[in-house]
Chains A and B, each alone.
Chain A
């Protein structure tokens, strides 16, 4: 009896293990099957005689954006017979960049890769990329049609190193129904730190279940709140005139954000979701919090999923400062060096295709990322979407009403990803009752230390 039980147990175990591995294997199979299907199902007469130039495109678009991007790639592959673009998802921006740095200069490196804006300096320093400017010059391609702020960010020393692609800025989302229930005007959202505190109080008083405001502990949002009050993140004009040697914001500017949050925590109108953006969005949708800041790229998602009316507003600034505007976020496309010229030329063709107003219109409407080519806003597709969701317009307005300055041009430095994590830890510390002065000083010390060691590693 016992023997049989043991045998049964062993069989069960093997089955469990086999099931696990099988599931993985069949998934892989399914994936390769679909990808081969796509290639074979769209037969092209010239395929046999004229081999397609394959372009490997690494990207970091997950979720809804991944679907939208893959559709664009498929459309492109079907629209012509010479180039086959293989889009490969490589995880988050951080992960994709890490993978690139590991394989750069080897056979397995992709032809082109999407890298987030703060990876710009890291890519240039890697020495494995070819500036897009070479192709712009060769082709006499007109880049002046792009959105001005995007050019400001990506043009470094008069050179475009990468092709802008998906750009977003943070906006403030708010629950219009909750505003009206609290006796506030849902059409005039708060614009300053102080107004947000007032509105939060009113909302929390009206409905004790609902907090007023949530700020995800996310370094990018902190940078944007700095830029919006005209503060620099790094010295030497945000690294635009020379390599930064220390942080660029003053104590008053940096602390303003910490103190603002601290006051709201004391007034119990602040919702703490830590670094978890997904929980924050689901908290907003569930009516736990009335306002939060997030990338405009989530606009479509949030508006579609909310069962109340969602408002979209500009991000706030302290009352005693002027609104300066936002820094462009998102990612751009990089041409990887040491590949065949034919392959790189094919990638360039695909990059140009992504710039066209039709593709950009589709991309903007499907995701909430900007159209980097402003002509796209005149497309019917976009006009229809705006009629249906006027909130999408706000994200564009905020970008276009930004004052051009070093602050809103955005900082370039290779240690910014690390800097973000330092800021995030500091924000979390304050959210959990840490002392502002001490936390702020620690964060600044760590930032300066990180800048110093990044410069030392480059032998500067």
Chain B
């Protein structure tokens, strides 16, 4: 008797499991169907190029990028002994360190200012976010005029104060700094807009009750604004990080990686290897290393940074 019960229970469990499995498969396929368009697009524009890049990184190529000789890991080995690649790694990290905190702090400051309810604040919001509407190429040309060694405004301003002129883009000690300044300026618009949006969506009642408790401005900033803004901040930091790693336009326009490779960030170095030196293999190897770097850093950011993020 008991045996029978157990058997029927087992049979029941079997059927149930089967049904559940089918149900799962069903919803999985349904989900896949919804994802199909993006999977297709990703495959064409991301996964296939990624696979091809990995493939290319094991070969030497001719000028058109067709593979000629299989070299295994030789391209990677060459990279790690190449002083130029080490330099461009160093430059990229410095560039990230110069631009990301600068952009975030300035944009946050501007967003806090622009979040005040004052007459005509819209004008300031427009001005602060206006750099978003300017292309990297146009902005670079504009900064090139500012940085010009003799007729540039920056050096003319220095001259009126009696300071020696600076070779903004030609002096190896200044070039990366100059490119960073122009990059911060270019990125402020976007970051400002996102942060302002985040600020606007913070519930006003929180501030009202804090006011009733008699909290000061900075106390509110520290205890309400920043925690409530943390998801937006986290997003902005992650995106800025990735953008900084992938900077290309302004480097190409302003310094072409020079002087002495001081502004030769990885993406520019990839471009140079592939499209000027026609070494698509070495360039692919660099691209893979950049990919791994960004992946790692984003992963670390999610592990460490997200703990501090406060979701409502």
Of the residues A102, A105, A425, A453, contact of B261 by C-beta under 8 Å = A425
- The range of chain B's interface size is 35 or more
Known contacts A6-B122, A126-B63, A282-B151; is-contact A428 B276 (Cβ 8 Å):
no
Q: How distant is A393 from chain B, measured CB to nearest CB, in Å?
A: 31
Query: How long is the Cα–Cα vector from A415 to B62 in the complex, in angstroms?
Result: 11
Contact B60 A428 (CB under 8 A): no
- Pairwise interchain contact B258-A9, C-beta atoms closer than 8 A: no
Enumerate B161-211 residues with CB–CB distance to A below 8 Å: 167, 169-172
Query: Are A12 and B126 in contact, CB atoms less than 8 angstroms apart?
Result: yes
Interface of A is mostly: helix
A421-455 near B? 1/0 per residue, CB < 8 Å: 10011001100101000000010001000100100
Could you tell me if B150 and A288 are in contact, using CB atoms closer than 8 angstroms? yes
Q: Given A273-B170, A418-B276, is A425 in contact with B260 using a C-beta cutoff of 8 Å?
A: yes
Confirm or deny: B160 has a beta carbon within 8 angstroms of a beta carbon on chain A.
Answer: no
Cβ contacts A to B, 27 pairs, < 8 Å: A2-B117, A6-B122, A9-B122, A9-B126, A16-B133, A98-B276, A101-B65, A102-B64, A126-B63, A272-B170, A273-B149, A274-B258, A275-B256, A275-B258, A275-B259, A283-B150, A414-B63, A414-B278, A415-B277, A418-B277, A425-B261, A428-B172, A432-B260, A434-B260, A453-B279, A457-B68, A459-B68
| With A274-B258, A279-B150: A417-B276 Cβ-Cβ less than 8 Å | yes
Q: Number of A-B pairs whose CB atoms are under 8 Å? A: 107
Chain A residues with Cβ below 8 Å from B126 are 9, 12-13
Cβ of B68: which chain A residues have Cβ within 8 Å of it?
Answer: 457-459
Seen from chain B, the residues whose Cβ lies within 8 Å of a Cβ on chain A are 60-65, 68-69, 71, 78, 83-84, 117, 121-122, 125-126, 129-130, 132-135, 148-151, 167, 169-172, 256, 258-261, 272, 275-279, 281
Q: Mark A389-428, 1 if CB is under 8 A from B, else 0.
A: 0000000000000000000000000110110010011001
B121 contacts A104, C-beta separation under 8 Å? no
Q: How large is the interface on A (under 10, 10 to 19, 20 to 34, 35 or more residues)?
A: 35 or more
Output the nearest chain B residue to A13 by Cβ-Cβ distance: B133
Query: Which chain B positions have C-beta within 8 A of A453?
Result: 60, 78, 279
A98 touches B171 (CB 8 A): no
- Which single residue of chain A is at the shortest CB-CB distance from B135? A20
Contact B130 A98 (CB under 8 A): no
Residues of chain B within 8 A of A6, CB atoms compared? 122
* Cα(A274)–Cα(B122), bound, Å: 44
Q: Which residues of B contact A446 (CB under 8 A)?
A: 84
A125 interface hit (Cβ, 8 Å): yes
Please indicate the chain B residues that have their CB under 8 angstroms from the CB of A122 in the complex: 63, 278
| Distance (whole angstroms) from the CB of B132 to the closest CB of chain A | 8
Whole-angstrom CA separation of A185 from B272 in the bound complex: 45
Q: Which residues of A contact B125 (CB under 8 A)?
A: 5, 9
> Are the CB atoms of A429 and B148 closer together than 8 Å?
no
Assess the A456–B69 pair: CB atoms within 8 A. yes
B84: chain A residues at CB < 8 Å are 446
Pairs of residues from A and B, 4 with the lowest C-beta to C-beta distance, nearest first: A5-B122, A274-B170, A457-B60, A16-B133
Q: Which residues of chain A are within 8 angstroms of B71 by Cβ–Cβ distance?
A: 456
